[in-house]
Amino acid sequence: MLDVNEIRKDFPIFQRETKPGTRLIYLDSTATSQKPLLVIEAMDAYYRRSNANIHRGVHMLAEEATSLYEEARVKIARFINAPSAHQVIYTRNTTESINLVAYSWARANLKSGDLVILTEMEHHSNLVPWQILQAERGIELGFIPVTEDGLLDLDEYKTLLSRGPKLVSFTHMSNVLGTINPAAEIIRLAHEAGAVTLVDAAQSVPHLKVDVQALGTDFLAFSAHKMCGPTGIGVLYGKMELLEAMPPFLGGGDMIKEVKLRSFRTNALPYKFEAGTPAIAEAVGFGAAVDYLSSLGMDAIAAHEHEITEYALERLEEIPGVNVFGPSAQHKGGVAAFTLDGVHPHDVAQILDQDGIAVRAGHHCAQPLHEKFGLPATSRASFYLYNTKEEVDLLVSGIYKVKELFG
């Protein structure tokens, strides 16, 4: 098990108070995680010692910066068990990774009438790129329904598969319901039906052991900032043969082998998809974040989060008027989206904030899912490796305080 008290010492932000005498209770890691000192120091050291542009110079700093950037890629490849680091493409975030597939693979492979299967629990990042393509190309969108208890309806999925989809793109873990979807099974069924798969792993890679080869997925997207790393960098993993066949996404420096006035030849993978000066310091920080998570062990992190989530669900459900959305802890990661009868979710979040408790309120970029449950918004508490049961207790006391204030 994790020694959470020791882990908390790794995160400088937990030393601050939100106002004199009020400590920070950070329950918003689903939006972005906090950063351990090791990540902050790795980026600081890069700027102090090694800052240069990569892949372009022969001087010492350029070589050092290039090595640090590429070493981080190798660490990330190992972290998700990618067969090769060339299959790990740096992007800005999960959103850009999904858009890369939509702009490059999908525009080269999909035509009017082709079916793309999504789910009703998708983040807008895995809806809007396909809606844009629907408007542009006339592709069709099909949605795996979400059941009342927050799970995917796999029978309906099988019915959709019988229509011969070209792509199945789905979230591994919902950022609202917390549902951990049976990704390996969804992928296996998609492949049997001849479809390509894309996993939105924004919420799974930070919290669970994700092995791209065991999953067998064609593409997988995630962001560093949700896994103790910096903002501004993410990854698209893809199968080699698909990535090799895909046209470039953005054009410019570094993604080319040769340029003439009227033509160009693309660079090898992964550089074909990394146009322009990339987020170098962020890659270094990303590598340090992966080192940090690996040193603690993803199984231990997942077990800790499971324990906190089970406890949080138990305690929240005790409160009269609180409704928690999503499945039981058995099928759920560390997310508890809830409503409190008679109080707007924003008011709940604002009053909790007065006691230093940070939760998110709104539709969490999953508006269709909220509509499905007839809600404009929810309040959402989310948990990561540094959260404790004591913080859950403070959340619960805070909600009782909200109830008192609103009579």
**Nearest distance from C-beta of residue 213 to ligand C6P, angstroms:** 22
Residues that bind ligand C6P (CB under 6 A): 30-31, 93-95, 123, 125, 171, 175, 200, 202-203, 223, 360, 364-365
Q: Hey, which residues are catalytic here?
A: 365
CB of 238 to ligand C6P, least distance (A): 17
Six token digits for residue 155: 């029978």
Q: Smaller CB distance to ligand C6P: residue 229 or 270?
A: 229
Strand, helix or coil for residue 199: strand
Give dist(CA 280, CA 90) in Å, integer: 10
CB closer to ligand C6P out of 50 and 171:
171
Residue number with CB closer to ligand C6P (75 or 225): 225
Q: 202 vs 385, which CB is nearer to ligand C6P?
A: 202
Q: By C-beta, is 45 or 358 nearer to ligand C6P? A: 358
Q: How far is the CB of 91 from ligand C6P (least distance, A)?
A: 9
Neighbouring C-alpha atoms within 13 Å toward the C-beta of 363: 16
Nearer to ligand C6P, 31 or 296 (CB): 31
Give 49-88 as a DSSP string: II---SSS--SHHHHHHHHHHHHHHHHHHHHTT-S-GGGE
CA distance 97 to 87: 13
First to last CA, the chain: 41
Quote helix, strand, coil % in the chain, to nearest 5.
45, 20, 35
Give the distance, in angstroms, between the CA of residue 62 and the centroid of all CA atoms in the same chain. Answer: 31
Nearest distance, CB of residue 362 and ligand C6P, angstroms: 9
Report in angstroms how near the CB of residue 367 gets to ligand C6P at its nearest: 11
Contacts of 194 (CB under 8 A, 6+ apart): 164
d(CA 104, CA 92): 16
Tokens of 76: 């990330």
Phi, psi of 58 (to 5 degrees): -110, -5
Closest approach, Cβ 333 to ligand C6P, in A, equals 11
Q: How many C-alpha atoms does 139 have within 13 Å on its Cβ side?
A: 27
